[in-house]
Chains A and B, each alone.
Chain A
Amino acid sequence: MANKTYRLEVVTPERLVLSDDVEFTSAPGAEGSIGILADHAPLLTALQIGVLEYTKDGQNQKLTVTGGFLEVGDGKVTVLSNASERPVEIDISRAEAARRRAEARIEEAKRGTEDADLARAEFALKRALLRIDVSKFD
């Protein structure tokens, strides 16, 4: 049974990551995870850093998203994000290195008083963990 599909587009400032007809999307919305089927009401939401999942032909696919927006418009869902990758595109060793770097920076920032540094390091850590996580679905 083929579900009704709609167009999902994922764009980052650097490129168009995905443009495909999908049946279902699940995204990390600002106020919790949201699922979108075809004919969803118009919606505009900020996104958290997390995993964007979509279903095409019954197959589940994953993408990373690091913040941004999701817009549900007329038969089309657009995701605008700073960065987004498919599992195959993730360089695990780089992500691991980034994780270690971020962890070291958090330790350092905790001893210091710079709040901004801590927040940035935590964000970097989240991003690294997310990449490591998603890359396992390859």
Chain B
Amino acid sequence: MSGMRDIKRRIRSIKSTQQITKAMKMVAAAKLRRAQDKVTAARPFAREIQGVLSRLVGAASDVSHPLLETREVKKVAYIVVTADRGLCGGYNTNILRLVNTAFKNRNDLVLIPVGRKGRDLYKRLNKTIMAEYVGLGEDISFGTAQEIAKTVIDMYSEGQFDEVHLVFTEFVSALTQRPQQMQLLPIPAAKDAEGEGNAAVGPLYIFEPSPEGVLDELLPKYVETQIYRALLESKASEHGARMTAMGSATDNAKEMIAKLTLTFNRARQAAITKEISEVVGGAAALG
């Protein structure tokens, strides 16, 4: 008989878990929509600045700038964008696994984690953390990206590291998110093959104040934009991943409840049958 009570208790517990996962799924879906809008809104700027940069480098190929120059690589920095919270399926794991493979190949890595999950892991592993950004919240502003970019550029200029990679999750769709790694510094600008087919021909630009002066402004802005985009894409991916994870958790709970209900009914039936046969058996003994 106590078996029946246990089953009942389990069903109740699973039901309340299901309610939570269901609520989380709906919240994630709502947040995803907003995050997705932001990603879309940020795209024109990213595209334009990429275009301007590649046209500029194409038109004035003799310009040089510290942020464009490759130098001997002694230390590599990874900016790792993870979530602040868990319960989003493989989202954080996938990113951290990607960084892990990089760790296997070289031991001169330093880290700049963005998001609590990555920060906590690397702290535990005693890795070198150059700077950390946690608790960025829901509404990521361009100002946050600017702040990160400034720190990174300053450290890079001081020679604290010689190459910077950005690891983030690319938002493909609500169901698909892809961990990505891209080189941030030095800026791989020569790749003007991207869409800008006429860049090679390139009109002769008038530069004000000068090509170098424009680069001085443009390159940091480019870095800021890339970081901003990575943050937005990661945020949207996080919500997408959480939505999927919580959706399947809700489905699993439903399945478990169905199974347990069946077991419960069976146990109840067995109990009733037993009681009847006891009564019948008792009556027969009397008769």
Residues of A within 8 A of B (CB): 9, 11-16, 29-31, 34, 41-46, 67-69, 71, 73-74, 78, 80, 82
- Chain B nearest CB: distance from A22 CB in Å? 17
- Chain B nearest CB: distance from A127 CB in Å? 13
Residues of B within 8 A of A (CB): 38, 41-42, 44-46, 48-49, 52, 55-56, 142, 145, 203-209, 213-214, 217-218, 221, 224-225, 228
- Chain A nearest CB: distance from B204 CB in Å? 7
Q: Which residues of A have CB within 8 Å of B56? A: 44
Q: Which residues of B have CB within 8 Å of A78? A: 48, 52
How far does the alpha carbon of A73 sit from the alpha carbon of B175 in the complex, in Å? 38
- Chain A nearest CB: distance from B184 CB in Å? 16
Whether A44 contacts B207 in the complex (CB less than 8 A), given A11-B48, A80-B49, comes out as: yes
Whether A13 contacts B225 in the complex (CB less than 8 A), given A69-B214, A82-B142, comes out as: yes
Whether A80 contacts B41 in the complex (CB less than 8 A), given A42-B203, A43-B206, comes out as: no
Whether A45 contacts B44 in the complex (CB less than 8 A), given A69-B218, A73-B203, A78-B52, comes out as: no
- Chain B nearest CB: distance from A37 CB in Å? 15
How far does the alpha carbon of A30 sit from the alpha carbon of B208 in the complex, in Å? 7
Number of inter-chain CB pairs below 8 Å? 79
Extra contacts, 14 of them, besides A46-B209, A69-B214, A69-B217 (Cβ < 8 A), are A9-B44, A9-B48, A11-B44, A11-B45, A14-B38, A14-B42, A29-B208, A41-B206, A44-B205, A44-B214, A46-B213, A68-B221, A69-B52, A82-B142
Are B204 and A42 in touch, CB under 8 angstroms?
A: yes
Q: Which residues of B have CB within 8 Å of A44? A: 52, 56, 205-208, 214
How far does the alpha carbon of A53 sit from the alpha carbon of B172 in the complex, in Å? 38
Are A45 and B208 in touch, CB under 8 angstroms?
A: yes
Q: Which residues of A have CB within 8 Å of B42? A: 13-15
- Chain A nearest CB: distance from B59 CB in Å? 8
- Chain B nearest CB: distance from A15 CB in Å? 4
How far does the alpha carbon of A70 sit from the alpha carbon of B204 in the complex, in Å? 15
How far does the alpha carbon of A42 sit from the alpha carbon of B205 in the complex, in Å? 5
- Chain A nearest CB: distance from B208 CB in Å? 4
